[in-house]
Amino acid sequence: MRVETSELADVLVFVPEPFQDARGFFTRTFDADIFDAAVGRTGAAASFLQDSQSRSVQGVVRGMHGRSGRGEAKLVRCAQGAVHDVLVDIRRDSPTFGVQQAFLLDDTEFRHLYVPPGFLHGFQALTPTADVCYRIDRPHDPAEDLGVAYADPDLEIAWPQAVTVVSPRDAAAGSWAELLEKV
């Protein structure tokens, strides 16, 4: 498994190297030793407490979500289909504060995105269905939820397809300017 850096401070991309033959493929989707070495903290892999999965139909946007307080770290991958995954750094003391970056996560290259605490995260399903798996380091506390509208004019996120469905919660999310007052 290779580890790549991104344009965003502290965000890592883990790239498995699948073995393929006539039967199909086999790939390691997580390796605690590689993860710990990449983030520079022994035992970091053991801090993941929850695994979650979502299924979305093509065009759906989920996000932009974040957490206040200590935030949360996530390891995100697309197990089936493909998604356009977007991160925005909301850490005021970060050299990439306010910067966004998009990543293609799919079931072909199996890239995993390590999202440290302090980021907004969202994605759009690019295929008829897309299953996204999240490994999260903290239990969910709705009181810490942060959100910015997926179509916020200040963020200008370039979603690659027409947006077909958004949850009522995401449709009612606040603006980037409102979020800046909270972080």
Average pLDDT over every residue of 72-96: 97
Does any domain span residue 11?
no
Instruction: Identify whether 41 is part of a domain.
Output: no
pTM, full prediction: 0.93
- Domain annotation covers residue 168: yes
Number of domains comprising the chain: 1
* Residue of 84, 134, 140, 150 marked active site: 134
Over the stretch 1-14, which tens digit does the pLDDT of each residue have?
999 999 999 999 99
Domain-embedded: residue 40: no
* Residues contacting residue 45 through CB under 8 Å, at least 6 positions apart: 30, 32, 33, 35, 36
pLDDT of residue 59: 98
Q: Does some domain include residue 26? A: no
88 assigned to some structural domain:
yes
- Model confidence over 114-162: pLDDT tens digits? 999 999 999 999 999 999 999 999 998 999 999 999 999 999 999 999 9
Active-site option among 65, 84, 112, 121: 65
Contact 114, 38 (CB under 8 A): yes
Domain of residue 67 covers: 49-182
Catalytic site residue 140? Answer: no
Place of tokens 């932009």: 64
Task: Write the pLDDT tens digit of every residue in 42-57.
Answer: 999 999 999 999 999 9
Answer yes or no: is 70 within a domain: yes
Structural domain includes residue 14: no
Q: Active site includes 121? A: no
CA–CA gap between residue 112 and residue 133 (Å, rounded): 9
CATH (domain of 118): 2.60.120.10
Query: With 90 as the cut, is the pLDDT of residue 182 above it?
Result: no
